[in-house]
Amino acid sequence: MSKTSEIIELPTAAANDKPDYFVEKDGIVFAGTHLIVDLWGASNLNNPTFIEKTLHECIEVAGATLLHFHIHAFEPNGLSGVAVLAESHISFHSWPDQGYMALDIFMCGNATPHKCIPILKKAFKPNSVQINDLKRGVIG
């Protein structure tokens, strides 16, 4: 069975406002897809340059638009960061000593956050990946 999605233009409160763009997929109208991703047994979790490059690749492949990127390093190890997107965000927190990285990947419109998963697997080489797939802003 083929899954298709399209952008739905919803009415706004004021006539001059830009419309909101929601997705319709499999008969459900919603704001976007929010992936909660846990990488276990992963590598390169304390390398901000590597992580930023990897997430830039995720953003490009997913068809999203980067607005701002920031990473904060903790002592002695660990990083937290966020990529603010026109379509929402990707945030992450890494615990290199435990080989663990937590990511939130939330995208709306035509962006496809699921396309990030193969890139994350290839880059960080986790032993295990756990994904929770949430639809945000479901209408009806």
Catalytic entry in 93, 94, 114, 128: 93
Residue 52, token pair as written in the block: 């930023």
Going from the C-alpha of 100 to that of each of 22, 24, 41, 42, 119, the distances in angstroms are 33, 34, 6, 6, 16
Our answer to whether residue 93 is catalytic in this structure is yes
Catalytic entry in 58, 88, 94, 116: 88
Sorted by where each starts, the structural domains of the chain and their CATH numbers stand as 32-134 (3.60.90.10)
The pLDDT tens digits of the residues spanning 59-95 come to 999 999 999 999 999 999 999 999 999 999 999 999 9
Distance, in Å, from the CA atom of 37 to the CA atom of 58, rounded to the nearest integer, reads: 13
Residue 109: per-residue pLDDT:
87
What is the biggest distance separating any 2 CA atoms in the chain, rounded to whole angstroms? 53
The pLDDT tens digits of the residues spanning 2-12 come to 444 555 555 44
Catalytic entry in 34, 58, 108, 116: 108
